[in-house]
């Protein structure tokens, strides 16, 4: 083991900032990162063991214990539950003979839960040894486990049932479907990749590129909506030894999967967008930070990058522009929603726990390795190519005045045609529901759990930065769903799990609010509990990052828009209920100490 | 260009040098903003959120935000004080803080802030979490019941090569500050002393030593926290 660990660390130049890669390689070599490996890594990197463990223990997919030769991660998102997760889970437990969170005695199979893996349009889904298995049913579970026991390799479990589009390529061979239902400028097939860098960029100065981006009024597609042109301009002006272009492909907001589809179907467009950004801000290095859930795309995306290098779309003097060098590497995460926050992503990229940074300074001034850095969403980079191709003015004809262009929506939940839809901004929710075949809708979660849960009274609202802002996650809930129990609680538990824990507010308030929600769901709530939740939720506003600030939104927005659901649950004849059942507790403790409770004497 | 800039806290005209963080600049001007995770001279992290102020309608931590010329800061307002009190209460309910039995009572900054904000009983239900006490190091005890995850020990206690004795472990609600077993076994008495001193609460205690000052005569027993700061 000693030599292997040494080789891994040396492969990354003994560089502590590459700890994520080092840990991923270590885990993929040994199946887990045990104490011996931690000691060797710490020694080799000149770090203390607690520091190595600090990074390991932060990420969901890193394990210090064996996870089984076949580590099965079953998605735990609300939509997975809506589409039969419980039956699939039970089938796994029955067939394997262990509970979730355990590994079989022979070390063959481990069962684990995992947060949304970006497959909401084909749930229930699981990841087995980095391969994604979609549309699982108890029958498929039996088959998969049988095949595992027969000794098939993980590729052999897919049964040739590949998804659509490029998922069928030899370098992907994934069960995943792209489910593209509506194309616009990004997903359309009328663009030949490379033509902007080859034909247009050589005729433009970097400043002119930024001017076009600014003129287009495009705002970041990740959800926060910062004007992209301004970001690029700030970064170009910032002084540093080196500038960096980072692409945020950590799409972890439950219900979003459009980056997965863009990267599957149009990866060249994203890489070309990063290259254009590199030209604009004066950078020669780009990094695609890709969530580990999409590890199955590694080989495919690396082939695309190799092809682009071979065609001089990446490398030196790109497009014949003297001195314009740019290349891209892929950095995988390891399972942490908060790394979608740009400064947490940078921390992760530097090999640390994904803890958001204090701002200021902003990444455009001090980002990756403390150098000026832009971080944009996958979709933003893809869109930038079309803007530079056709001009900022052309772009403004799509969408609305304050939200120009198109938006790719990830639509899932109770509808006929879940999938990816590219629409102009300004689309209203009612039209969207009609478009996807959603009938008898109780509510729509706009922008994922950190967004807003709206009911039919608000379906006239439009998608855009000034009304319903969204990174693209749209989850539809039919009349039959129990919104508070099956959706709001699931989302709150997600936020508790995914908080980095740094801020006292986010670390603790999410738990406090969830406990109160459970009290209400258990029929112990009173009117004051609802007031408390409204007041207490405000404390989250004092958190450092967007995750913390929005972590109470599932409760806050459902309290606002679905008040009758809460009112129906609370006790009307009581002003106070401590939520503590004395009789049950006494009975329970008596059971353990062997006494008989006597309630009559009190 | 003069390096001095003007700013206001709760309407009071203040002056400081460019580049200072709000919390330091406030102190220079005789205004107390409570802190827990912050330590003078150590790079701030803004994790306890107790020093939150309002600037231009936005909540910002004053330990991490540099003062800008003409900045108007809201600190001692009903809204901000209520928020700070909430944070103190959250820290109390999320751990097991039993002041009368704690070695640090009277020198504890969390306890002092509890008094400062006149916390009678936390509005949030106690969680009474199960936490461990790590006494494996020869010189210190790390009591997780009392840890408020401020990171002060993580940031300040290092060996000559800069290696950490303490680090975070896990995330979210399971987050802990843990002591490196190997490093902990070699920790010097002097460093153990410093670790205890830097801990704002009673989570890091030096072994084999009681206390120099009796309860009742300690730092915050005599004077309330922040009372030595005068306008």
Are A121 and A270 part of one and the same domain?
A: no
Q: Closest Cα partner for A189 from A422, A436, A426?
A: A422
**Contact residues on chain A for B87, CB-CB shorter than 8 A:** 504-505, 539, 542
Asked if B91 lies within 8 A of A498 by C-beta distance, the reply is no
pLDDT in tens, A287-345: 999 999 999 999 999 999 999 999 999 999 999 999 999 999 999 999 999 999 999 99
Asked if B93 lies within 8 A of A508 by C-beta distance, the reply is yes
**Contact residues on chain A for B61, CB-CB shorter than 8 A:** 358, 544
pLDDT in tens, A406-417: 999 999 999 999
Transcribe A407-452 into DSSP letters: EEEEEEESSSS-EEEEEETT-BHHHHHHHHT--SEEEEEETSTTSE
pLDDT (0 to 100) of residue A597: 84
Given A353, A376, A395, which residue is the final one in a domain?
A: A395
Domain of A302?
182-395
Are A252 and A389 part of one and the same domain?
A: yes
Asked if A58 lies within 8 A of B59 by C-beta distance, the reply is no
Q: Closest Cα partner for A216 from A229, A198, A207?
A: A229
Distance from CA of B79 to the nearest CA of A (A): 11
Q: Within 10 A of A322 (CB to CB), how many other CB atoms are there?
A: 7
**A244 cis-preceded (ω within 30 degrees of 0):** no
Terminal Cα distance for chain B, rounded: 28
Q: Closest Cα partner for A420 from A379, A460, A451, A388?
A: A379
Helices (H) and strands (E) in chain B, counts: 7, 10
What does the pLDDT average to over A453-478? Answer: 95
Which B residues 88-147 touch A at CB under 8 Å? 90-91, 93-94, 123-125, 127
CB A98 within 8 A of CB A111: yes
Angle at A499 (CA atoms; ends A497, A501), nearest 5 degrees: 115
Q: Closest Cα partner for A20 from A35, A30, A33, A3?
A: A33
Whether residue A559 is contained in a domain is answered as no
Are A53 and A105 part of one and the same domain?
A: no
CB A442 within 8 A of CB A488: no
What does the pLDDT average to over A349-364? Answer: 96
CB A251 within 8 A of CB A257: yes
* Long-range contact set of residues A318-324: C-beta below 8 Å, sequence gap at least 24: A318/A197, A318/A201, A318/A275, A318/A279, A319/A197, A319/A198, A319/A201, A319/A202, A320/A202, A321/A201, A321/A202, A321/A279, A324/A201, A324/A279
What's the domain count of chain A?
Answer: 4
Given A346, A372, A395, which residue is the final one in a domain?
A: A395
Q: Which fold has domain B4-76?
A: Ubiquitin-like (UB roll) (3.10.20)
Q: Is the pLDDT of residue B1 over 70?
A: no
Residue A224 sits in a domain whose CATH number is: 3.40.50.11540
Q: State both tokens at A385.
A: 């190519």
Strands A285-290 and A452-454: unpaired
pLDDT (0 to 100) of residue A600: 74
Which B residues 174-213 touch A at CB under 8 Å? 174-175, 178-183
Q: Is the pLDDT of residue A423 over 80?
A: yes
What does the pLDDT average to over A379-383? Answer: 98
pLDDT in tens, A14-53: 999 999 999 999 999 999 999 999 999 999 999 999 999 9
Whether residue A38 is contained in a domain is answered as yes
Q: Is the pLDDT of residue B167 over 70?
A: yes
CB A213 within 8 A of CB A228: yes
Share of chain A above pLDDT 70, in %: 100
CB B168 within 8 A of CB B177: yes
CA A561 – CA A256 distance, rounded (Å): 22
Distance from CA of A127 to the nearest CA of B (A): 22
Top-level class of domain B86-222:
alpha beta
Q: State both tokens at A499.
A: 């908080």
pLDDT in tens, A108-128: 999 999 999 999 999 999 999
Whether residue A602 is contained in a domain is answered as no
Residue A602 — pLDDT band, cuts 50, 70, 90? Answer: low
Are A215 and A92 part of one and the same domain?
A: no
- Residues A249, A250, A252, A256, Cα dihedral to 10°: 0
pLDDT in tens, B19-73: 999 999 999 999 999 999 999 999 999 999 999 999 999 999 999 999 999 999 9
Query: Is the four-CA dihedral A218, A224, A79, A89 of positive or negative sign?
Result: positive
Asked if B168 lies within 8 A of A353 by C-beta distance, the reply is yes
B164 closest CB neighbour out of A50, A58, A510: A50
Residue B74's beta-bridge partner residues? Answer: B54
Share of chain A above pLDDT 90, in %: 93
Residue A92 sits in a domain whose CATH number is: 3.40.30.10
Residue A577 contacts B where some CB pair is shorter than 8 Å: no
Strand order in the sheet with A126-128: A109-114, A70-75, A126-128, A131-133
Are A225 and A346 part of one and the same domain?
A: yes
Are A316 and A431 part of one and the same domain?
A: no
CB A218 within 8 A of CB A405: yes
Distance from CA of A91 to the nearest CA of B (A): 30
Strand order in the sheet with B52-55: B12-17, B4-9, B72-74, B52-55, B58-61
- Per the prediction, chain A carries an average pLDDT of 96
Domain map of chain B by residue range?
Answer: 4-76, 86-222
Q: Is the pLDDT of residue B120 over 60?
A: yes
pLDDT (0 to 100) of residue A601: 63
Are A437 and A328 part of one and the same domain?
A: no
Q: Is the pLDDT of residue A388 over 80?
A: yes
Q: State both tokens at A66.
A: 């064996």
**A360 cis-preceded (ω within 30 degrees of 0):** yes
Q: Is the pLDDT of residue A418 over 60?
A: yes
Q: Closest Cα partner for A346 from A277, A217, A247, A443?
A: A247
Q: Closest Cα partner for A483 from A562, A399, A594, A577?
A: A562
Q: Closest Cα partner for A115 from A473, A490, A485, A451?
A: A490
pLDDT in tens, A153-198: 999 999 888 999 999 999 999 999 999 999 999 999 998 999 999 9
Distance from CA of A351 to the nearest CA of B (A): 14
Are A100 and A44 part of one and the same domain?
A: no
Whether residue A116 is contained in a domain is answered as yes
pLDDT in tens, A532-572: 999 999 999 999 999 999 999 999 999 999 999 999 999 99
List alpha helices for A282-425, DSSP H: 298-310, 342-349, 378-390, 392-395
Asked if A507 lies within 8 A of B172 by C-beta distance, the reply is yes
pLDDT (0 to 100) of residue A188: 95
Are A209 and A350 part of one and the same domain?
A: yes
Are A342 and A232 part of one and the same domain?
A: yes
**Contact residues on chain B for A504, CB-CB shorter than 8 A:** 47-50, 87, 90-91, 94, 148-149
Given A58, A79, A96, which residue is the final one in a domain?
A: A58
Buried b (16+ CB within 10 A) or exposed e, A38-54: bebbbebbebbbbbbbb
pLDDT in tens, A51-72: 999 999 999 999 999 999 999 9
Q: What is the CA radius of gyration of chain A?
A: 25
What does the pLDDT average to over B158-165? Answer: 94
Q: Within 10 A of A78 (CB to CB), how many other CB atoms are there?
A: 29
pLDDT (0 to 100) of residue A578: 83
CA B84 – CA B111 distance, rounded (Å): 13
Strands B72-74 and B4-9: parallel
Q: Is the pLDDT of residue B210 over 80?
A: no
pLDDT (0 to 100) of residue A129: 96
pLDDT (0 to 100) of residue B209: 79
**Contact residues on chain B for A509, CB-CB shorter than 8 A:** 90
A58: left (phi over 0), alpha (psi -120 to 50) or beta: alpha
pLDDT (0 to 100) of residue B58: 95
Buried b (16+ CB within 10 A) or exposed e, A233-260: bbbbebebeebbbbbbbbbbbbbbbbbb
Distance from CA of A350 to the nearest CA of B (A): 16
Residue B86 contacts A where some CB pair is shorter than 8 Å: yes
Residue A470 — pLDDT band, cuts 50, 70, 90? Answer: confident
Between the CA of residue A326 and those of A11, A201, A305, what are the distances in Å?
22, 13, 12
Residue A534 contacts B where some CB pair is shorter than 8 Å: no
Residue B60 contacts A where some CB pair is shorter than 8 Å: no
Residue B208 — pLDDT band, cuts 50, 70, 90? Answer: confident
- Phi, psi angles (nearest 5°) of residue A20: -60, -50
Distance from CA of A576 to the nearest CA of B (A): 14
Strands A406-413 and A473-478: parallel
- Phi, psi angles (nearest 5°) of residue B119: -75, 120
CB A50 within 8 A of CB B164: yes
Q: Is the pLDDT of residue B2 over 90?
A: no
pLDDT in tens, A156-167: 999 888 999 999
Residue A415 sits in a domain whose CATH number is: 3.10.20.600
**Rounded to 5, what percent of chain B is helix, strand, coil?**
25, 20, 55
Angle between helices A378-390 and A206-216 (to 10 degrees): 100
Residue A385 — pLDDT band, cuts 50, 70, 90? Answer: very high
């Amino acid at each position: 083991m000693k030599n292997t660990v040494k080789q891994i660390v040396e492969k990354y130049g003994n560089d502590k900032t590459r700890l994520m890669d080092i840990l991923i390689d270590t885990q993929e070599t040994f199946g887990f990162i045990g104490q011996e490996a931690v000691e060797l890594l710490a020694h080799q990197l000149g770090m203390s063991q607690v520091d190595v463990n600090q990074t390991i223990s932060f990420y969901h997919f890193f394990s210090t214990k064996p996870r089984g030769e076949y580590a099965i991660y079953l998605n735990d998102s609300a939509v997975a539950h809506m589409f039969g997760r419980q039956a699939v889970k039970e089938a796994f437990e029955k067939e394997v003979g262990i509970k979730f969170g355990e590994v079989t005695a022979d070390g063959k199979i481990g069962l684990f839960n995992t947060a949304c893996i970006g497959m909401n349009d084909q749930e229930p889904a699981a990841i087995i040894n980095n391969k994604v298995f979609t549309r699982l049913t108890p029958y498929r579970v039996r088959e998969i486990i049988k095949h595992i026991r027969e000794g098939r390799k993980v590729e052999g479990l897919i049964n040739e049932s590949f998804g659509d589009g490029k998922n069928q390529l030899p370098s992907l061979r994934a069960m995943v479907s792209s489910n593209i239902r509506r194309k616009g400028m990004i997903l359309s097939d009328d663009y030949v990749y490379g033509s902007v860098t080859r034909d247009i960029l050589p005729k433009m100065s970097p400043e002119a590129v930024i001017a076009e981006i600014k003129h287009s009024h495009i705002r970041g597609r990740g959800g926060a909506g910062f004007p992209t042109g301004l970001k690029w301009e700030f970064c170009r002006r910032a002084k540093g030894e080196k500038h960096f272009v980072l692409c945020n492909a950590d799409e972890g907001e439950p219900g979003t999967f459009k980056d997965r589809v863009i990267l599957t179907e149009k990866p060249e467009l994203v890489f070309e967008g990063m290259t254009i950004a590199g030209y604009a801000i004066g950078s020669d290095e780009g990094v695609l930070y890709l969530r580990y859930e999409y590890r199955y795309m590694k080989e495919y995306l690396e082939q695309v990058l190799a092809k682009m290098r071979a065609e001089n779309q990446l490398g030196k003097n790109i497009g014949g522009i003297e001195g314009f060098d740019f290349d891209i590497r892929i950095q995988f995460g390891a399972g942490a929603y908060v790394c979608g926050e740009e400064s947490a992503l940078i921390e992760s990229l530097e090999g640390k726990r994904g803890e958001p940074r204090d701002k200021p300074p902003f990444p455009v001034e001090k980002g990756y390795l403390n150098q000026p850095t832009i971080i944009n969403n996958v979709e933003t980079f893809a869109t930038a190519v079309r803007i530079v191709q056709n001009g900022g003015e052309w772009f403004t004809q799509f969408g609305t005045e304050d939200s120009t262009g198109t938006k790719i929506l990830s639509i899932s939940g109770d509808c006929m045609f879940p999938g990816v839809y590219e629409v102009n901004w300004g689309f209203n929710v009612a039209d969207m529901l009609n478009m996807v075949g959603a009938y008898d809708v109780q509510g729509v979660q706009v922008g994922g759990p950190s967004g807003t849960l709206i009911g039919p009274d608000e379906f006239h609202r439009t998608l855009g930065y000034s009304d319903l802002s969204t990174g693209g996650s749209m989850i539809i809930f039919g009349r039959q769903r129990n919104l508070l129990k099956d959706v709001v609680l699931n989302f709150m538990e997600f936020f508790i799990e995914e908080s980095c824990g740094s801020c006292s507010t986010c670390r603790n308030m999410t738990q406090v609010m969830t406990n109160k929600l459970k009290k209400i769901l258990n029929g112990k709530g009173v009117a004051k509990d609802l007031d408390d939740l409204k007041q207490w939720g405000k404390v989250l506003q004092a958190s450092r990052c967007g995750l913390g600030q929005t972590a109470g939104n599932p409760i806050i927005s459902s309290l606002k828009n679905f008040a009758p659901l809460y009112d129906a649950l609370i006790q009307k004849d009581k002003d106070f209920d401590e939520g503590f059942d004395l009789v049950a507790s006494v009975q329970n403790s008596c059971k353990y100490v062997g006494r008989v409770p006597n309630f009559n004497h009190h | 260009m003069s390096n001095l800039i003007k700013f206001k806290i709760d309407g009071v005209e203040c002056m400081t040098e460019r580049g200072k963080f709000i919390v330091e600049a406030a102190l220079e001007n005789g205004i107390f903003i409570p802190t827990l995770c912050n330590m003078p001279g150590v790079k701030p992290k803004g994790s306890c959120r107790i020093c939150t102020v309002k600037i231009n309608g936005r909540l910002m931590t004053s330990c991490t935000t540099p003062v800008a010329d003409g900045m108007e800061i809201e600190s001692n307002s009903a809204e901000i004080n209520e928020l700070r009190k909430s944070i103190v209460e959250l820290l109390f309910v999320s751990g097991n803080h039993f002041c009368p039995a704690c070695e640090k009572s009277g020198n504890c900054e969390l306890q002092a802030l509890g008094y400062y904000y006149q916390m009678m009983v936390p509005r949030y239900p106690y969680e009474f979490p199960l936490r461990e006490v790590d006494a494996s190091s020869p010189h210190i005890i790390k009591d997780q019941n009392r840890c408020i995850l401020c990171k002060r020990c993580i940031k300040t206690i290092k060996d000559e090569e800069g290696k950490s004795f303490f680090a975070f472990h896990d995330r979210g609600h399971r987050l802990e500050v843990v002591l490196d077993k190997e490093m902990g076994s070699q920790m010097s008495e002097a460093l153990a002393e410093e670790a205890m001193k830097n801990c704002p609460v009673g989570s890091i205690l030096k072994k084999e030593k009681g206390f120099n000052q009796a309860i009742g005569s300690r730092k915050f027993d005599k004077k309330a926290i922040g009372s030595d700061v005068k306008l």
